[in-house]
Structure 1
Amino acid sequence: MNRKTFLAGATALVMTGLCAPAFAQAIPATVDQPVTISYYNYNLASAGNGAEATKKMIADFEKANPNIKVEGVGASSADITSRIQADVAAGRIPDVVQMVFSDLNFTVDNLGAVALEDIVPADELKKHFEGITPNGLQLGVVNGKTYGLAYTFSTPVLFYNADLFRQAGLDPENPPKTWAEVKAAALAIVDKTDAEGIATGIFGPSAGDWLFQGVLRSNNGGIISADRKQLAFADPASVEAVAMLRDLYDSGAYTNVEVQAAMEGMASGKIGMYLQTSAIQGFLVKGAEGKFELRASTMPRFGDKPQRPNNSGSALVILSKDPVKQRAAWELMKAMTSKEAYTVITSQIGYLPLRTDIVDDPNYLGEWVKKHPLIKPNLEQLAILERWESFPGPNYRQIQKTMMEGAELAVFGGVEPAEAMKAAQDNAQTLMPK
């Protein structure tokens, strides 16, 4: 899906998508009896701010809704879909889940996700959607209906160490905006300091492919055809983007370390730049405090081509088939995507506020944003956000894995990028639905 189509779809969702719900089973207007719902959430399994902030939001929700008890179930973002799939197969159907966007299509096709338009009255749905950025809402739409309500997500952010920039003779007021500038800055840091130049969250077992997709797109590279039948990550523009990463590594500018090691290296001042989700902002801020000046910039672009960032993160999805529990789940979803919730989600965890009207509001994020400029590059990119493409069919994760393994061979393994990406695409295409 190209950016023009994506933005048009986002506008259409807000303008017309809520006008004609088809009720499969209308939920009750309120929860007037005690009910317990399960809430599968990967932030609950995280260390530090993510878990604590989520627990607080759940506690606040239960206090405001005394008839609803929320049973939180924590599982990592890499494992949560497998956990949900296993529990569904065993008849333990979760009520509401935090679903990684790349798994959303699989959840709709195989796990029985419920479209909000099928259970929530149109006027109520429209009222809650007011104020949420259309780009964010569109992320959870599958086959024209909202199966996932965008919850926690971000765009790629280039964090950088302003102190290392100064030591290397670089201007921290003018961070790199292109990949060529990133390479030059990283080499200067390597040459004039004891630190590494740049690390990224693109590769590794826990990385997924969201950041890689944004890099390919920013060079106008493909991921999958518009009809979702043919893979396209071996097209010339995509290969060129992979070759850029290979050159970055071969030059000594790019250090190949796993995500956790890269986070720790950036937080301890041993890496000059780090391209990663803003969700790690709290971790980096805590590490840098009192040691060095941490700053952030937008995702690098290829020459004069505009960067085309896509989202990371998750949506909230209802799986329950019980009307009372569906109402309770919807109430929880509304609370978790409210102005109050996004104030917590942004200020305490580091994700984007989907309700952008709270950014300048002193009752919500206004004062916090003034004191925390690291959020600004992320907010800038919200206007040009594109969808994290999920691959179709039951083999979607293996397709993703094959693509990323091909890219790793090209960047770090010495295989020519065109050869590695073509072999990966050919193998992955056999896993696509016929």
Structure 2
Amino acid sequence: MNVRSFLRGALALLAAGAVLPALAQNVPATVDRPVTISYYNYNLASAGIGAEATKRLIAQFEAVNPKIKVEPVGASSFELTSRVQADVAAGRIPDVAQMVFSDLAFGVDNLGVAALEDIVSEEERKAHFAGMSPNGLKLGMLDGKTYGLAYTFSTPVLFYNADLFRKAGLDPDNPPKTWAEVKTAALAITKKTKAAGVATGIFGASAGDWLFQGVLRSNNGSLMSDDRKKLTFSEPASVEAVAMLRDLYDSGAYTNLEIDAAMEGMAAGNIGMYLQTSAIQGFLVRGAQGKFDLRASTMPRFGDKPQRPNNSGSALVILSRDPLKRRAAWELMKFMTSKEAYTVITSEIGYLPLRTDIVDDPQYLGDWVKKHPLIKPNLEQLAMLEPWVSFPGPNYRQIQKMMMEGAEMAVFGGMNPADAMKAAQDNAQALMPR
């Protein structure tokens, strides 16, 4: 963290009534006495497999690290950073947290997220990072330092119902690769079946902006300038991407559904195609089993332009200032991103494995990948993955909300896409740090 960022964080904490903790001393090489660390995790707040798998991993960690006790704290992905902020302000600083990538810059500048370079040696970091995806490791970097270690993350996948494709006279072995082909296929499905053509997880109260970012960038659009000072999501390439979504909706190819309704509709076989995070794969597989042929393809592209998918999901970050707890936190972080843990995270929850070296290894994911071809588009896109951009400053969530509201008005509200995005950008620019 640079001096300016540190001072911003200090002022934010003092303004919130918190006492800024002292900087840590040297972190010990091992945990040589009992210690308890808090672990803020949003999978723990979910129902079903995500929570159960996470609890099991924590229990396994404690079994092999008997001196470390983990105190789990569950909160939803949209509430977790606010919970962390409130507890930091109250002097209850979390030790480890699962933080969504769009919150990372705020966490670094305002909550005291520590860089791994300031906690463990280069030799130890390199040893743990061996076998991990270079693109995956970049997701948690800011200003040249590693503040977060990618944990549960995924790429956008186009799930599709092969049975509906057949009924519509489409070839399920050749799914749409471009947005124009998506439109054609969706209209065929709506015309020849009773199902909806295509739905997405781009919009909605719980959608965030991660999927929208990938759509803009795939048309060579952008969100803000490289120096992170000027918003750019109303520039022509970005507006053109929004106009494409508007055309899909106006044509009747695109059905506007809330995320839960779209997921349930896809799982029930009532939607032809659904663009969403690969993390819902398990839910869709369970719904489709014995009912219809569920398949998956990569994110659609714009003509000949390559896809530029970005990630959803989270990174593990360390906030503790206590040297012993920092070592315990790093040990937990290592375990949760180990080969064994990623075998569980990928096969049971549905996220990408940060460790690409286990994909073909029969001891880990090798046999599972052969039996579950739906993971293949996700793995393919890992090679072209780009980071989920986090807006700067304390108003980052309002900026994100304004951008997404502008896009929704353009796609579903009847506004001219250029006018809607320009108005959203002008209003959001006023909230950017000066």
Q: TM-score range by the shorter chain?
A: over 0.9
Deviations 1:304-341 (A, max 9, x none): 10010001110000001111111111000000000001
1:367 aligns with 2:374: no
Deviations 1:95-119 (A, max 9, x none): 1000000000000000001111111
Distance in 1 (CA, whole Å) between partners of 2:158 and 2:386 is 18
Q: Which residue of 2 aligns with 1:292?
A: 292
Structure 1 residues 138 and 25, CA, compared in 2 at 3 Å: closer, same or farther?
farther
Counterpart of 1:100 in structure 2: which amino acid? V
Q: Report the CA distance between 1:123 and its aligned residue.
A: 1.0
Q: Where do residues 9-408 of structure 1 align in structure 2 (5 Å cutoff)?
A: 25-408=25-408
Distance in 2 (CA, whole Å) between partners of 1:408 and 1:320 is 39
Distance in 2 (CA, whole Å) between partners of 1:275 and 1:408 is 17
SS of the residue 1:410 aligns to: helix
Whether the aligned pair in 2 keeps the contact of 1:25 and 1:119 (CA below 8 Å) is no
SS of the residue 1:56 aligns to: helix
Q: Report the CA distance between 1:222 and its aligned residue.
A: 1.3
Counterpart of 2:426 in structure 1: which amino acid? D
SS of the residue 2:226 aligns to: coil
Counterpart of 1:157 in structure 2: which amino acid? V
What value does the CA root-mean-square deviation take over the aligned residues? 0.9
SS of the residue 1:342 aligns to: helix
SS of the residue 2:401 aligns to: helix
Distance in 1 (CA, whole Å) between partners of 2:77 and 2:299 is 23
Q: List runs of 5+ in structure 1 lacking aligned partners.
A: 1-22
Distance in 1 (CA, whole Å) between partners of 2:103 and 2:412 is 27
Whether the aligned pair in 2 keeps the contact of 1:301 and 1:307 (CA below 8 Å) is yes
Distance in 2 (CA, whole Å) between partners of 1:129 and 1:420 is 43
Distance in 2 (CA, whole Å) between partners of 1:424 and 1:309 is 23
Q: Which residue of 2 aligns with 1:13?
A: none
Number of positions where the alignment pairs a residue of Structure 1 with one of Structure 2: 412
Whether the aligned pair in 2 keeps the contact of 1:160 and 1:296 (CA below 8 Å) is yes
Whether the aligned pair in 1 keeps the contact of 2:152 and 2:352 (CA below 8 Å) is yes
Deviations 1:387-426 (A, max 9, x none): 1110011100000000000000000000000000000000
Distance in 2 (CA, whole Å) between partners of 1:53 and 1:307 is 32
Deviations 1:339-378 (A, max 9, x none): 0011011000010011101000000000000000000000
Distance in 1 (CA, whole Å) between partners of 2:119 and 2:57 is 24
Deviations 1:245-283 (A, max 9, x none): 000001111111111111011001111100000010000
Distance in 2 (CA, whole Å) between partners of 1:32 and 1:293 is 53
SS of the residue 2:28 aligns to: coil
Counterpart of 1:359 in structure 2: which amino acid? V
Counterpart of 1:320 in structure 2: which amino acid? S
Counterpart of 2:153 in structure 1: which amino acid? F
Q: Report the CA distance between 1:24 and its aligned residue.
A: 6.0
Q: Report the CA distance between 1:73 and its aligned residue.
A: 0.8
| TM-score, with structure 2 as normaliser | 0.94
Q: Report the CA distance between 1:33 and its aligned residue.
A: 1.3
Q: Report the CA distance between 1:32 and its aligned residue.
A: 1.6
Q: Which residue of 1 aligns with 2:13?
A: none
Distance in 2 (CA, whole Å) between partners of 1:105 and 1:414 is 34
Whether the aligned pair in 2 keeps the contact of 1:218 and 1:307 (CA below 8 Å) is yes
Counterpart of 2:398 in structure 1: which amino acid? Q
Counterpart of 1:116 in structure 2: which amino acid? L
SS of the residue 1:261 aligns to: helix
Identity %: 82
SS of the residue 2:296 aligns to: strand
1:427 aligns with 2:390: no
Whether the aligned pair in 1 keeps the contact of 2:279 and 2:350 (CA below 8 Å) is yes
Q: Which residue of 1 aligns with 2:17?
A: none
Whether the aligned pair in 2 keeps the contact of 1:25 and 1:118 (CA below 8 Å) is no
Q: Report the CA distance between 1:26 and its aligned residue.
A: 2.3
Distance in 2 (CA, whole Å) between partners of 1:386 and 1:123 is 26
Report the more deviating stretch, 416-425 or 23-32.
23-32
Whether the aligned pair in 2 keeps the contact of 1:26 and 1:120 (CA below 8 Å) is no
Whether the aligned pair in 2 keeps the contact of 1:155 and 1:309 (CA below 8 Å) is yes
SS of the residue 1:176 aligns to: coil
SS of the residue 2:198 aligns to: strand
Q: Report the CA distance between 1:25 and its aligned residue.
A: 3.0
Deviations 1:34-54 (A, max 9, x none): 111110001111111111111
Counterpart of 2:199 in structure 1: which amino acid? A
Whether the aligned pair in 1 keeps the contact of 2:24 and 2:322 (CA below 8 Å) is no
Report the more deviating stretch, 172-181 or 123-132.
123-132
Deviations 1:141-178 (A, max 9, x none): 11111110111101100000111111111110000000
Whether the aligned pair in 1 keeps the contact of 2:24 and 2:321 (CA below 8 Å) is no
Whether the aligned pair in 1 keeps the contact of 2:24 and 2:323 (CA below 8 Å) is no
Distance in 2 (CA, whole Å) between partners of 1:128 and 1:24 is 22
| TM-score, with structure 1 as normaliser | 0.94
Distance in 2 (CA, whole Å) between partners of 1:121 and 1:304 is 44
Whether the aligned pair in 2 keeps the contact of 1:26 and 1:118 (CA below 8 Å) is no
Whether the aligned pair in 2 keeps the contact of 1:160 and 1:294 (CA below 8 Å) is yes
4+ long deviations beyond 3 Å:
none
Distance in 2 (CA, whole Å) between partners of 1:234 and 1:311 is 22
